[in-house]
Structure 1
Amino acid sequence: MSTTTGGSTAVGQTPDRSRGGAGAPPSGRGTRGRGSRAYLWMVLPAFLLFFAFHTFPVLQGVFFSFTDSPGYGEWGFVGLSNYTALFTDPRIGHAYLFTAQFAVVATILTNVLALAIAVGLNGKIKFRTTLRAVYFIPYVLAILVVGYVFQYLFTFSIPAMAEALGVEALTTSILADESWAWVAIVVLAVWQSTAFSIVLYLAGLQTVPAELYEAASLDGASAARRFRSITFPMIFGFFTINMVLSLKGFLQVFDHIFALTAGGPGTATESVGVLIYRGGFQGGEYGYQLANAVLFMIVIIAFAVFQLRVLQGREEQA
């Protein structure tokens, strides 16, 4: 039997696949290796960007919270003195109390209003698609821009209309009243944030089977009864998400206050975020306010964990 020249395979013989010849199937190990490298090259840039613009600044902030740094120039370590001073500073206590009160009120109003609108939009009403778009508009607008518009309304438009109508209580701007300025901030915050909650509630309402409503209607259940027994228990998971996100967002309130009152009158509407900005970037308390920021981060995490545990427990019972 003849053979070919140049070291070719003899006629009638099969190629040696164990040596990676042309007919050898692709190695699974090589495919997995290429997949791992591709995954690494996709994840690595995102990880580096996240570390550079998020994790590293956070770690740097924690480090400087143990110093007396004014934000520039020389600084020295002061240990835990910044943190201990926070608990005896009346301005810090007022800011935390105001922020908590504002966040609780705004969270409740936002979710009550959003749930009511979502249930209405999910019902048999005209122009549902148009109304959904209209209700979502506030969420896509810049808060600072809208805030300055609301500032004009509360400062000039509403007092002018109140004077024309003879409503003495509203002839002066409530933004200048220490007792009522927070109401204007709540109105702006609820108006702007309700849109996102409506979208989440509408998504939850789509998951409720229509057969349950039909069976309830046959049993003569009223609309309120159907909401209590069917709608709300079925979308309680979405209610939990909305409550946690709303509270977290309102605890970090800054733009609404900065646009309407800048923390005034005096310090009546000064939130924790506004206080950190004022003291850290304008008052030379960089290290001290960084300690305040670290403490505030812990408080927000604690609120979120507690809220999730309570609501998830209620969700299981529902």
Structure 2
Amino acid sequence: MKRQKRTMNFYRKQSIVFSLFALPQTILYIMFFIAPIICGIFYSFTDYNGINKKLNFVGWSNYKTVFSNSRFTKALLFNAKYSTMLVICILALSMILALILNSNLKGKTFFRGAFFFPAVLPLLTMGLVFNSIITKGIPQLGTSLGFQSWEISLLSRPKTAILAILFVAVWQGLAIPTVLFMAGLQTVPEELLESASLDGATAWQKFRYITIPFLVPTITMVFVLTLKQGLMVFDLIMSMTQGGPAGATESMAMLIYNHGFVERRLSVAMAEALILAVIVCIVSFIQIVWSNRKRIY
């Protein structure tokens, strides 16, 4: 009995110590994550503008305003289009790059370091650099070479502006997914690949039926991270197009910023932010459920 009491006291003391260590992180998590969400939900049902202290409860009025606003629909469609292209490009290119870097390529150590360089650069800085290249450098080069089509900036046309933003996002965002896929490739058993080769399987068949199933958890992680990046894109658009031309590249995050800090309609902006958060959660949940069914244990 005494030994049991000592053991219980020991574990009780240990749990208290662990709780004390976790307390600061828990407080910070509540302050900077839980509390803002609760405040955002509350303010989305008011007419809060960030200046007046007096609040009026308006019910679902802000949400009705959001869904009846053509700018919201346009921004949502832009996000859907941009996110789809970004996810496809990142998944395909990072997987191909991981397969190349995982092979017996000469100088692969150099390439493994070189391709990661864009990931350490801030997106805002990269956006400003590419904005200068696209709006000044390429048109001047086109004038010098006599190429009239180059004299018109890619960012001044709706169809090419999204492609320019996508190029910068893919160039910067390839590194981490590639590293994740390279780590995922290490989980594929060599014995299975060798057995498949002995059975006459082609390289595509081994990739399709052996490699891909083992990479499902990695694919899910890259999908969710890239989807979040695509749905919440802001800094690239702010530094490259500011939502132009004519609102063609105004994303949800950009619209939330304009409504909240430019037009001082913070309650509407919070309603839009909550809608965006719900969309991200739903899509991520569907992808995670699907991946759990396809995962190999």
Shared fold, TM over 0.5: yes
Larger radius of gyration: 1
| 1:125 matches 2:105 | yes
Aligned match for 1:98, one of 61, 78, 84: 78
How many residues are treated as equivalent by the alignment? 296
Aligned to 1:4: none
Aligned match for 2:280, one of 293, 300, 306: 300
Q: Is the 8 A contact 1:100 1:251 kept in 2?
A: yes
- Separation in structure 2 between the aligned mates of residue 158 and residue 313 of structure 1, nearest angstrom: 48
Aligned to 2:176: 196
Q: Is the 8 A contact 2:44 2:267 kept in 1?
A: yes
Q: Is the 8 A contact 1:240 1:312 kept in 2?
A: no
Q: Please identify, of 181-190 and 27-36, the stretch whose mean Cα deviation from structure 2 is larger.
A: 27-36
After TM superposition, which residue ranges in structure 1, 4 or more long, deviate above 6 angstroms? none
Per-residue deviation at 1:26? Answer: 8.7
- Separation in structure 1 between the aligned mates of residue 181 and residue 141 of structure 2, nearest angstrom: 36
| 1:31 matches 2:19 | no
Aligned to 1:5: none
Q: Is the 8 A contact 1:107 1:246 kept in 2?
A: yes
Q: Is the alpha carbon distance of 1:25 and 1:309 closer, same or farther for their aligned partners in structure 2, counting shifts above 3 Å?
A: closer
Q: Is the 8 A contact 1:95 1:270 kept in 2?
A: yes
- Normalising by structure 1, what TM-score? 0.87
- Separation in structure 2 between the aligned mates of residue 36 and residue 229 of structure 1, nearest angstrom: 46
1:124-163 residue pairs with structure 2 within 5 A?
124-163=104-143
Q: Is the 8 A contact 2:49 2:265 kept in 1?
A: yes
Structure 1 unaligned blocks of 5 or more: 1-17, 19-23
| 1:77 matches 2:68 | no
Cα RMSD, aligned residues only? 2.2
Q: Is the 8 A contact 1:162 1:168 kept in 2?
A: yes
Q: Is the alpha carbon distance of 1:71 and 1:29 closer, same or farther for their aligned partners in structure 2, counting shifts above 3 Å?
A: same
Aligned to 1:13: none
Q: Is the alpha carbon distance of 1:202 and 1:65 closer, same or farther for their aligned partners in structure 2, counting shifts above 3 Å?
A: same
- Normalising by structure 2, what TM-score? 0.93
Q: Please identify, of 118-127 and 171-180, the stretch whose mean Cα deviation from structure 2 is larger.
A: 171-180
Q: Is the alpha carbon distance of 1:33 and 1:192 closer, same or farther for their aligned partners in structure 2, counting shifts above 3 Å?
A: same
Per-residue deviation at 1:202? Answer: 0.3
Q: Is the alpha carbon distance of 1:225 and 1:58 closer, same or farther for their aligned partners in structure 2, counting shifts above 3 Å?
A: same
- Separation in structure 2 between the aligned mates of residue 208 and residue 242 of structure 1, nearest angstrom: 18
Aligned to 1:10: none
Relative to its length, the structure with more helix (as a share) is 2
Aligned to 2:194: 214
Q: Please identify, of 196-205 and 175-184, the stretch whose mean Cα deviation from structure 2 is larger.
A: 175-184
- Separation in structure 2 between the aligned mates of residue 232 and residue 162 of structure 1, nearest angstrom: 44
Q: Is the 8 A contact 1:96 1:271 kept in 2?
A: yes
Per-residue deviation at 1:166? Answer: 4.5
Aligned to 1:62: 41
Q: Is the 8 A contact 2:130 2:240 kept in 1?
A: yes
